[in-house]
Structure 1
């Protein structure tokens, strides 16, 4: 079986197209990386030769030997499902960690997204937290980006706001969301700042820009971002309708956490019920 026919490429085609259709990945915005295991690689007959070596501007030696299916720099998500072998590539991190070996894809001379160092930094962080998490996704959800202009950039305040917009929020991201300062994208500095936040959160907001998120598989991470964005959409609609007359309370959140057996970030919500 050839890799282009794999479930991994098909899922990448599906998710990139859905992200574009949502309006979260305009032009060449957005990027995804998926870590594959050796046993998954061994299933495909066309992954035994290094097509070329591509330098990367980051020491990824902690990930040496790992395989990543990653979207390409300058590529439009609306086109990935039509040209997967051009707009995505499968790479292996070299032992030295300062380059990758291309095994499949980028057949027009392309290379991984400019945010690939940020992805790899996040992969390093999340593998220490939960080695099952092997997807990193970056996109530009409209209402979440808008919220970063109008709301104080405080993790507790924004996390609680999103939890109170819908019951699903607390269940899906009980740890809340992390926030970094505005920084220039495509740099190792923003990558490291994001990776540091990923020690605590699976969603990190890049103010006035977008979001980084991670998880076990592409459906899960897509759904995580979708849930955050839906909460922001509800808040946008609520504010457009006028004053907020009622809302989900802290006690409601506590009951929700108990019912769904999740533990809210204790810095954002105490599980002790306030009475009197």
Structure 2
């Protein structure tokens, strides 16, 4: 039988969970991760699937463009730090039904575990990102990025007011997320409202800030998605440290310099966020 833990998709998923834990973004059972598997991923993993798939569970949302897809997901109430130690107990693979409205476990999530409580939010956003990227985006990642959360207490909760200081705090930021970042005001996590608010932003952005909660990021693969979250958090950390000095900002990356970065790196900045 295939050693599913040695398949590229599962290995990459476990590594990303560990990387997020090591950054300090996943206290207790904080955060969640999902990956929409390729056909090759599924066929490689299929020999390890349970002989009798478990029962179907309605998600409360229906995403027709995800019908028949398979996802690797972290478990509800599970700790990222435990994923490398006991993968099958803390993560699993679920299949989506033909209506795109229910899931069932085909591997992992042992001992009665279920997908993350924010799985419906992930699914809605996977649906959007699959559509707007022509199927390229496959990863959705939610982490409790410390400095991003800190900024939600002091910056106005608008896309523009968050994007500008992030772009100006680290030179690579306009290249990594030239469209900017979206911002969701505080909402109860795991519910339909936050899922809808986030999916609306993900029509435009790769990442959204959840006020007083964390960061929600998407990408085509594990490295790109983790790199996006890492870049946003690093820029937020720089800005928090600048603010903490109490000194006036004497110089920054001005708008014409941001445009120059975009021109030289061949990206298109969101002009609505520039003066």
Fold in common (TM above 0.5): yes
CA distance in 1, matches of 2:115, 2:7: 19
Q: What secondary structure, in the 3-state scheme, does the structure 1 residue paired with 2:95 have?
A: strand
The equivalences for 1:1-276 within 5 A come to 1-44=2-45, 45-47=47-49, 49-62=51-64, 63-130=66-133, 131-241=135-245, 242-269=247-274
- 2:63/2:124 contact within 8 Å kept: no
* TM-score normalised according to structure 1 size: 0.94
CA distance in 1, matches of 2:139, 2:182: 17
**Gaps (5+ residues) in structure 2?**
none
Go from structure 1 to structure 2 and tell me whether the alpha carbon gap of 1:116 and 1:252 turns closer, same or farther (over 3 Å shift). same
CA distance in 1, matches of 2:3, 2:52: 15
**Gaps (5+ residues) in structure 1?**
271-276
State the 1:149 CA deviation: 0.4
User: Once the two structures are superposed, what CA deviation does each residue of 1:39-96 show, in whole Å capped at 9, x if it has no partner?
Assistant: 3211232236343124133233411100000000000001001111110010110123
State the 1:14 CA deviation: 1.2
State the 1:9 CA deviation: 1.6
CA distance in 2, matches of 1:228, 1:19: 14
* TM-score normalised according to structure 2 size: 0.94
User: Once the two structures are superposed, what CA deviation does each residue of 1:135-171 show, in whole Å capped at 9, x if it has no partner?
Assistant: 0000110000000001111211210111000111101
CA distance in 2, matches of 1:155, 1:216: 23
CA distance in 2, matches of 1:254, 1:98: 43
CA distance in 2, matches of 1:235, 1:61: 38
CA distance in 1, matches of 2:234, 2:15: 20
CA distance in 1, matches of 2:191, 2:166: 29
User: Once the two structures are superposed, what CA deviation does each residue of 1:5-27 show, in whole Å capped at 9, x if it has no partner?
Assistant: 21222112211111111111110
State the 1:113 CA deviation: 0.2
- 2:36/2:139 contact within 8 Å kept: yes
CA distance in 1, matches of 2:52, 2:215: 33
